Amino acid sequence: MAEIRNYTMNFGPQHPAAHGVLRLVLELDGETVMRADPHIGLLHRGTEKLIESKPFNQSIGFMDRLDYVSMMCNEHAYVRAIEQLLGIEAPIRAQYIRTMFDEITRIGNHMLWIGSSGLDLGAMTMFIYAFREREMTMDMYEAVSGARMHANYYRPGGVYRDLPDSVPLYKESPWTKGKNLKRKNEWREGSLLDFIEAFASDFPSKVDEYETLLTDNRIWKQRTVGIGVVSPERAQQLGFTGPMLRGSGVEWDLRKKQPYAMYHEMDFDIPVGINGDCYDRYLVRIEEMRQSAKIILQCVEWLRANPGHVMLKNFKVIPPTREEMKDDMEALIHHFKLFTEGYSVPKGEVYAAVEGPKGEFGCYVVSDGANKPFRVHMRAPGFAHLSSMGELVKGHMLADVVAIMGTLDIVFGEVDR
C-alpha cells in the first residue's frame, strides 16, 4: 500500500475568508485538519512603540486604527487609563455619550461580524442586510465627530464636543432621488439624538429580519452547530472574553461586573450560551444587539433631558475653547502649553479595561511622570481568541476552519497592533 502523507497547505494571507492578513499553515489529513499554525504580524505597525514617542493625547487616533470596527470602545479604554492616572473623571453627560456610542459601536461591530461571517458561510443576503444598517451607525459617527470610522472623539476628561443639532442629509443624485431620497432622509431631519432614537427603536425589528435569514436556516445550522466547541473551563484558560466566553456559558460582562461609564444605571441583560459552539456564539451576539439598542434608548432619554458640559474645565489637561483663548491670557498660555508639550501624567501604572464588542479591550499604561507614556500595552481580545485557533480547528474539516474563523470575530488591526 502506498504511503500516505499529511498535506501542508497555506491559508491566506490573501484569502477572502481570512478576515484580513492571516496566514494559516494547515496540516491536512485528507480534508481533516491535523494542525493549524497561525502566522500573524503582517499588519504589525508597532503602535505601542509609536505611542511612546508622542504626547498622550496624540495617540487617541491610534486607538481607532487598532480594532477598526469598534473604534470608540478602544478609545474608551485608553482614555479611561489616562483619566485614572490623572485622577480626573469626565462629566456625567460625557459618560452618557460614551455609553451610548460604545453601544452604537457594538451594533456596528456585530453588523460587520454577522455580515462577513454570513458571507463566509454562503449567506450572501446577510451581508447586504447588515451593511444597510451599519451605514447608519457610521453616519452617527460622522455626525458627531466628522469621521465615519476613525472618530478620535473621546478625550481624557470628556468627549471632544457635544452632540450636534443636525445630521448631514442625503443630496439628490441620479441614484438617490424622489421617494428613495425622502425615505433615506426621513430619520435625519431632526437632531442627532432624534436620528439615534429612530434607529434604535426600529433596530430590533431589523434583528428579527436577520434571524429569519439565519436562526432556523438549515445550512447555517449545519455549518455552525457543534463546531468549535469550547468548555467554560477551557474558555477561561485560553483567555476568552466577551461573546466567546459568554457563548460557553460563563456569565461575565465587564459592563455588569465591573461597570464603567454609566453602565451601572442601565437596564440590560447579558445573554449566555449553553453549548459553547459557533451557533451559540451567534445567538449571543444577536441578543447583544437587541440589548445594545435598549441601552441606547435609555441614554437618549437621559441626554435629551439633561444638557450640560461634555468636557471638564480643568485647563491643565483640557484645552480652553477658542473663545476663551481670545480674551484670557491664562487660557492662551494653557492652550499653547497643551498643544506644544501636552500634559504630564503622574508617575504610576494602570490597567483599564472596557467590554469591547469582541471582548475585553484593556490598556496598560506605565507613566514615569512625562508628557509621553513610558509604555503602553493594549490587551486585544482578538489576540487571545486567535491564539486558540490551533486548538479549536484540530480535528475539524477544512470548511469548518472558515466557520471558526468567523466566530472568533478577529480584526487584524488589533491582533497585530
Partner 1 sequence: MMSASNNLAAHLEECFAGRIEISRSANGQLAIQLPVDLWLEVAHTLRDDPRFAFSQLTDLCGVDFLGYGQSEWQTKDATHDGFSRGVEGLGPGRFDWSGRPEASEIKQRYSVVVHLLSITHNVRISVATFAADEGLPMVPSLCDVWSSANWYERETFDLFGIVFEGHPDLRRLLTDYGFIGHPFRKDFPLVGNVTVRYDEEKGRVVYEPVEITPRVLVPRVIREDSRYKVDDIDKAADEAADSLAPGAE
Instruction: Identify residues 366-385 at the interface with partner 1 (CB under 8 A).
Output: 366, 368-372, 374-375, 377, 379, 383-384
**Nearest-approach distance from CB 314 to partner 1, in angstroms:** 5
Q: Does 13 sit behind a cis peptide bond, omega within 30 degrees of 0 on the bond before it?
A: yes
Q: Which residues ranging from 152 to 191 are in contact with partner 1 (CB under 8 A)?
A: none
Closest CA to 256 of 246, 380, 277, 375: 246
What phi and psi values does residue 24 have, to the nearest 5 degrees? Answer: -115, 120
Task: Decide if 374 contacts 362 (C-beta within 8 A).
Answer: no
* Cβ neighbours of 305 (radius 10 Å): 7
Binding of residue 7 to partner 1 (CB under 8 A): no
Q: In this structure, are strands 348-355 and 7-11 parallel, antiparallel, or unpaired?
A: unpaired
Contact segment (CB under 8 A) with partner 1 among 82-90, 139-147, 175-183, 193-201 equals: 82-90
Which is closer to partner 1, CB of 164 or CB of 342?
342
**Nearest-approach distance from CB 262 to partner 1, in angstroms:** 16
Task: Decide if 229 contacts 276 (C-beta within 8 A).
Answer: yes
Of 7, 351, 394, 395, the one binding partner 1 by CB under 8 A: 351
Binding of residue 336 to partner 1 (CB under 8 A): no
Which is closer to partner 1, CB of 82 or CB of 286?
82
Which is closer to partner 1, CB of 190 or CB of 346?
346
Count residues near partner 1 (CB under 8 A). Answer: 72
Lookup result for grid cell 494602570: 350
- CA 327 to CA 349: how far, in whole Å? 38
Of 85, 261, 402, 403, the one binding partner 1 by CB under 8 A: 85
Q: Which residues ranging from 198 to 257 are in contact with partner 1 (CB under 8 A)?
A: 233-234, 236-239, 241, 250, 252, 257
Contact segment (CB under 8 A) with partner 1 among 81-89, 133-141, 207-215, 288-296 equals: 81-89
Q: Which residues ranging from 125 to 144 are in contact with partner 1 (CB under 8 A)?
A: none
Burial 134-170 (b: 16+ CB within 10 A, else e): bebbbbbbebbbeeeebbbbbbbbbbbebbeeebeeb
**Nearest-approach distance from CB 80 to partner 1, in angstroms:** 9
Amino acid identity of residue 123, one-letter, is A
Q: Which residues ranging from 257 to 286 are in contact with partner 1 (CB under 8 A)?
A: 257-258
Of 62, 113, 187, 364, the one binding partner 1 by CB under 8 A: 364
Q: In this structure, are strands 360-367 and 375-379 parallel, antiparallel, or unpaired?
A: antiparallel
Burial of 342 from C-beta contacts in 10 A (0-12 / 13-18 / 19+):
middle
Which is closer to partner 1, CB of 176 or CB of 314?
314
Contact segment (CB under 8 A) with partner 1 among 48-56, 125-133, 180-188, 323-331 equals: 48-56
Task: Decide if 364 contacts 350 (C-beta within 8 A).
Answer: yes
Of 286, 312, 354, 403, the one binding partner 1 by CB under 8 A: 312
